[in-house]
Structure 1
Amino acid sequence: MSELASASSLSEGNDTGKSGKPVAPGVCQAAGSLDGHRCDASGRRLTTNQGVPVSDNQHSLKAGLRGPALLKDFVLREKLTHFDHERIPERIVHARGSAAHGYFESYADHSALTAAALLSEKGKRTPVFVRFSTVAGERGSKDTARDARGFAVKFYTEEGNWDLVGNNIPVFFIQDAMKFPDLVHAVKAEPHHGMPQAASAHDTFWDFVTLMPETAHMLMWVMSDHGIPRSYRMMKGFAVHTFRFINREGKASLVKFHWTPKQGTHSLVWDEAVKISGADPDYHRRDLWEAIEAGEYPEWELGVQVFSEEQAEQFSFDVLDATKLIPEELVPVTPLGRMVLNRNPDNFFAETEQVAFCTAHIVPGIDFTNDPLLAGRIHSYVDTQLSRLGGPNFHEIPINAPVAPVHNNQRDGMHRQAVHRGRVAYEPNSLAGGCPFQAGGAGFVSFPEQVAADELRGKPEKFAEHYNQARMFYASQAPHEQKHIADAFGFELSKLTVPAIRHRAVALLRNVDETLAQKVADHLGMRELPEPLPLASKQGYQPEVQRSEHLSLLAHPGEVGIRTRKVAIMCAAGTDAAEVQAIAQPLMDKGAVVRLVGPHVGLIQAKGGELDLDASFANSPGPLFDALVIAPGSEAVKSLSDDGQALEFVKEQFRHCKPLLVIGEAREVLQAAGIPLDNPDKGLLLVSKADDKALRQFVSALEAHRHPERETDPPRV
């Protein structure tokens, strides 16, 4: 494999300086820096906190370009350590989260693949604690921001705790942990005024990512519908990095971890997400809590892509590059078991806030690879807990404590809970009979990977190809998903105050897809497209897969039908109570959550009796529901047709492409809302009565979740 020289590695993300020549971001220029200030050796060179000049701030020190990161890299360690301790006690990233208890159940004995105890026999159950989170926002931010979502699982195995820490997106923005503090500083609120909160639509984020073209693939994911999931229960999870499985005989395989929800993969649309954040900023946290309280336990299947070092060498991309995924067409996912979340925490602070996930926490049968981003996380997660949870004894907090017995010679420190007896706290010893003994071959043994290379900063040549998989992702989306990506880029970039950054973003997109770049340029009123960003690699690696059916949300509709879907039945004085009952009870029997929504909560006089409304148009607006039923009743229909809030409720359900079941004369409400009835789609059902046929049609429409064929540009309503 050829390797990039240090000079070529600096060409990534280049911009144009005053001379018109390419300028590498962050590299000192003799004539001046990019911000117009003269860069002199006395005050503008990048240094450590000790004033030592830093020669390369892009790459960690490794033993060979694909070798392990080295502990002696004091530049990396200082940078990450300072970053990890910037704030207390809130998490720097993933601050806003929600969690639940549950169990993992192995489908079979997978000991031929790994020695990990939790996968050693069919039906074996291991307790888990899972925390979902947004990334950029602080604890008080909203749930529905456009962002990646954290997906962290703590397995309490009999051989110790294993933390499988990941996201709902299989790739990451950057390739090397050296850049992680820069990424987070860029996406967080701008430091001079603390805005915006939990949003990436601002200058500093886009300035950074457009100067780092390795972010292209992750940008496509975040700007897609994956960036605004319908629910934590309806999103995938990925460990992002390549790991190793090792069996009892010492045979190793490379693996990628996948979590697939049995509830299906579904998203919000942007207009809906914005309105939900105002109506219920705790939307995702409430959804998870209420589903578990109702006994609708969310479930995911854990699978792995298993491949060898020899296979990995043949790929057009490097499996140690966290900005790349392995298409399932190349390596299919092998199911290992299922995870069920069946109990909410007893105390939010004690469990959800104090849980400490660390990528360094692995168990026998699982090991790391030389992924340079993973290397930094192994250090950074543990280091972060030292300040966030007050010291080295955070493992004694109940939610972090392993079920396996703990025996070692570590003593004292802040917040120590264990009371050790005796005078021996060292080994070897004779005074305690030699205990605790080393486990030898029965303990954790690192895979004996051969390391023999020069110390240097840089990366392999394949790491410099940034656009093939971004192009594949975009091509794999359905037409309405592609439209949402273009709209998202257009919205985000329209919020920027520096036009040059917008142009640079469109220049980056030209390397992904010309049509996408043109659509985004149209959003921004650009008359001409800028030149594409220069490519960091001229090798022209040919991708094995041009389009993957697994990358669209439509590929995973789910296995649970309409269970937990929230259905609003619109009512007012005079609504036909019999029709309401005829549609509500069968939906509830199928597991849907049905709420009667009207001008106010409480009792109304309906046709044939009274109805008790449990929500109003004001306290529960349309975006909070997955579908709408408008019940008949001439008096109610007239009242609803004259109610502006009711009409807006209906318009939002239609605009967001959700199923609508309209019974009898209730179609007059649609007409009052300006919704065209001449060409109804599969999600807009106009029926004369709430009979079995109407119910079957509505359930089928609700299972599809959303009906994008209704989308027009501009929207009809």
Structure 2
Amino acid sequence: MSKRVLTTESGAPVADNQNSACAGAGGPLLLQDQHLLEKLARFNRERIPERVVHARGSGAYGHFEVTDDVTGYTHAAFLGEIGRRTEVFVRFSTVADSLGGADAVRDPRGFAVKFYTEEGNYDLVGNNTPVFFIKDPVKFPDFIHSQKRDPFTGRQEPDNVWDFWSHSPEATHQVTWLMGDRGIPASYRHMNGYGSHTYQWTNADGEAFFVKYHFRTNQGVRCLSSEQAAELAGRDTGSHQTDLLQAIERGVHPSWTLYVQLMPAAEAADYRFDPFDVTKVWPHRDHPLTRVGRLVLDRNPDNVFADVEQAAFSPNNFVPGIGPSPDKMLQGRLFAYADAHRYRLGINHTQLAVNAPKAVPGGARNYGRDGLMASNAQGRHAKNYEPNSYDGPVETGRPLSAPLPVSGHTGTHEAPQHTKDDDFFQAGELYRLMSREERSRLVANIAGGLARVTRDDVIERNLAHFHAADPEYGRRVEDAVRALRED
């Protein structure tokens, strides 16, 4: 059988892919060598700007199957009858490090799910923790800058990390998660995923419910100690990618069971703490878990760059029956994520295969045209304005979710205080849930980083947060830090 012919980008056959054209044997190269110039120019442009956060990631395709009836809470079609399946793409990631970082590090993990539903793509963009470090998006760039490499030293600096946290008492809950036993998952398969934010579901009668998502791993939660993680990262910086790839290739398909917590919208205003504060969880005794379905990953991407690196998840990609809440961090992400993809991938990134909606044959139906790498010309008779008289796509007049009530004056307000709102109670609750051994490891992890801070005032501010969460917690961290600094 004859081999396929190698061609240039324009489709012309390549005569020689081993030797560049030159002026005589051993002479200088020629500018007319179109194949050489094209090959080098493409090579120079193989990389795109990496994500500022969640840069290092892995992903896989699979499906989500409804196992329980939740139609009383949402009219989203893909969550309709029991047994319905929806194709998904899931991307896992570390948060703070660059594309070249290691997988086995102490860092939250991104857990992003793209549901290719019959009503459009629904993106659920969360983490492997149910809470986050801050509650207002105006602090997000500063937070990330404090966790990334210092502009002068070019490395992550404990002074920066802990200085920011010392000025952000709301971070105490997430710091307790991060520094605890679940701070370094053994693999992407062995960790839970959470929507983290509060979202809104609306049923067919227009009743609104606030919802939190929980993906519980069916492989069991497994985590690494700091020592195990350091050894694994030294052996294989891509350990989590290796594990996910090899598991799926050998037919071991990881799965998660999706549960939700539900709160009737009318109850939110009088709940004992702010239900839209992403630094807090909803206690299960108040809002028990309701099972929804099963997420299974069973196919690796054929090309990691095409699918994992170019995958664009945006929390503002909702479908009918699902919408946002007043969660401030979520509100900020509704803009920031889509804007990041427009910068990294271009205005037409939704036309890429991994991002294109499968609900609409031929791609999304709208009046967007042109831009870099445009492929949505839509034919000679398609107009690029609306309304029009040419049978173009029209609005439905049906909102995706229930409206959110608003009141008061515009301004830079702090979040309204509920009766039990504070930054430390839930961090203390988490500490008190831990076993004696878990508490000891948590204290050692915190002290190991905090003791490296050079400023006493930064250390004291952080210690005050742990004391406020739980007296024993604060005392043990303080004693451990002092012992390490005296060595």
Structure 2 residue 452 is matched with structure 1 residue 492? no
Question: In structure 1, what is the equivalent of residue 431 of structure 2?
Answer: 474
The 3 A distance-change label for structure 1 pair 110 and 316 is closer
**Contact preservation (8 Å) 2:112, 2:123:** yes
Amino-acid identity (%):
42
SS of residue paired to 2:431: helix
Counterpart CA distance in 1 for 2:274 and 2:405 is 18
CA contact (8 A) 2:318 2:400 kept: no
Pick from 117, 127, 134 the counterpart of residue 157 of structure 1: 117
Partner SS state of residue 457, structure 1: coil
Q: 1:316 to 1:110 in 2, by over 3 A?
A: closer
Stretches (4+) displaced over 3 A: none
CA deviation after TM superposition for structure 1 residue 448, in Å: 2.3
Deviations 1:498-537 (A, max 9, x none): 2332222212211112222222222222699xxxxxxxxx
Q: Corresponding residue for 1:621?
A: none
Aligned counterpart in structure 1 of residue 388 of structure 2, from 421, 429, 451: 429
**1:305 maps to 2:261:** yes
Q: In the alignment, is the contact (CA less than 8 A) between 2:135 and 2:170 conserved in 1?
A: yes
Distance in 1 of aligned mates of 2:153 and 2:86: 46
C-alpha contact (below 8 Å) 1:153/1:164 kept by paired residues = yes
Q: Which moved more, 1:219-228 or 1:514-523?
A: 514-523
SS in 2 for 1:233: coil
Aligned equivalent of 1:131, options 75, 91, 94: 91
Aligned with 2:112: secondary structure? strand
Instruction: Write the letter of the residue equivalent to 2:410.
Output: E
C-alpha displacement of 1:451: 2.2
Aligned twin of 1:385: 341
* Residues paired across the two proteins, number: 433
Letter in structure 2 aligned against 1:399: V
Give the conservation status (yes or no) of the 8 Å contact 2:313–2:337. Answer: yes
- Correspondences of 1:269-668 after superposition (within 5 Å): 269-389=225-345, 391-405=346-360, 406-423=364-381, 424-430=383-389, 432-433=390-391, 435-441=392-398, 444-459=399-414, 460-462=416-418, 465-525=422-482
Q: Distance in 2 between matches of 1:314 and 1:478?
A: 33
Distance in 2 (CA, whole Å) between partners of 1:310 and 1:225 is 37
The within-5 A match list for 1:83-94 is 89-94=49-54
Give 1:191's aligned amino acid.
P
User: Cα distance, 1:331 vs. partner?
Assistant: 0.8
Question: AA paired with 1:418?
Answer: N
C-alpha contact (below 8 Å) 2:202/2:401 kept by paired residues: no
Q: Contact (CA 8 Å) 1:243, 1:256: kept in 2 or not?
A: yes
Deviation (angstroms), 1:338: 0.2
Corresponding residue of 2:4: none
Letter in 1 for 2:407: A
Local SS of the residue matching 2:482: coil
- How far did residue 282 of structure 1 move? 1.2
Distance change >3 Å, CA 299–CA 499, structure 1 → 2: same
Cα deviations across residues 584-603 of structure 1 (Å, max 9, x unaligned)?
A: xxxxxxxxxxxxxxxxxxxx
Residue type at the aligned position of 2:413: G
Q: 2:298 and 2:322 mapped to 1: Cα distance?
A: 26
Q: Cα offset for 1:344?
A: 0.7
Following the alignment from structure 2 to structure 1, what is the Cα–Cα distance between the partners of residues 366 and 271? 43
The match for 1:111 is 71
AA at the equivalent of 2:122: W
For residues 146 and 121 of structure 1, the distance between their equivalents in structure 2, rounded to whole angstroms, comes to 40
Q: Is the 8 A contact 1:214 1:464 kept in 2?
A: no
1:179 aligns with 2:136: no
Q: What letter corresponds to residue 459 of structure 2 in structure 1?
A: R
Q: CA deviation at 1:317?
A: 1.1
1:230-261 deviation line (CA, Å, top 9, x unaligned) = 11111111111111111122111111111000
Shift of 1:327: 1.1
Query: Partners of 1:473 and 1:520 in 2: how far apart?
Result: 15
- Secondary structure in 2 aligned to 1:474? helix
Given the alignment of the two structures, is residue 222 of structure 1 paired with residue 178 of structure 2, yes or no?
yes
Tell me, in whole angstroms, the C-alpha distance in 2 between the residues paired with 1:209 and 1:384: 25
Q: Deviations over 1:138-188 (max 9, x none)?
A: 010011111100000000001000000000000111111111001001111
> Taking structure 2 as the reference length, what is the TM-score of the superposition?
0.86
CA contact (8 A) 2:94 2:110 kept: yes
Report the 3-state secondary structure (helix = DSSP H, G, I; strand = E; otherwise coil) of the residue aligned with 1:404.
Answer: coil
1:440 to partner: Cα distance: 2.8
Counterpart residue type for residue 378 of structure 2: H
Q: Distance in 2 between matches of 1:232 and 1:411?
A: 38
Report if aligned partners of 1:155, 1:161 keep a CA contact under 8 Å in 2: yes
What is the rounded CA distance, in whole Å, between the counterparts of 2:281 and 2:236 in structure 1?
A: 34
Q: Which runs of 5+ in 1 are unaligned?
A: 1-86, 529-717
Q: Which runs of 5+ in 2 are unaligned?
A: 1-46
Q: Alignment RMSD, CA only?
A: 1.7
Given that 1:88 and 1:387 are in contact with CA atoms closer than 8 Å, whether structure 2 keeps it comes out as no
Deviations 1:594-633 (A, max 9, x none): xxxxxxxxxxxxxxxxxxxxxxxxxxxxxxxxxxxxxxxx
Separation in 2 of the partners of 1:163 and 1:478?
A: 36
CA contact (8 A) 1:110 1:120 kept: yes
Number of the residue aligned with 1:559: none
Q: Which residue pairs with 1:666 in the alignment?
A: none
Q: Deviations over 1:79-106 (max 9, x none)?
A: xxxxxxxx96100000001101000000
Q: Which amino acid aligns with 2:347?
A: P
Secondary structure in structure 2 of the residue aligned to 1:235? coil
**CA contact under 8 A between 1:108 and 1:120: conserved in structure 2?**
no
Q: 1-side partners of 2:273 and 2:407: how far apart?
A: 23
Query: Could you tell me how far apart the structure 2 residues matched to 1:94 and 1:378 are?
Result: 16
Cα pair 2:259 2:290 within 8 Å, conserved:
yes
CA contact (8 A) 2:451 2:482 kept: no
SS in 2 for 1:350: helix
1:263 aligns with 2:225: no
Equivalent-residue separation in structure 2 for 1:334 and 1:464 (angstroms): 25
How far apart are the structure 2 equivalents of 1:173 and 1:279? 30
Alignment partners' CA distance in 1, 2:283 and 2:193: 15
Pairwise CA distance, 1:464: 5.9
Corresponding residue of 1:167: 127
Matched with 1:202 is: 158
**Match of residue 5 from structure 2:** none
Contact 2:201 2:323 in 1 (8 A): yes
SS at match of 2:458: helix
> How far did residue 420 of structure 1 move?
1.8
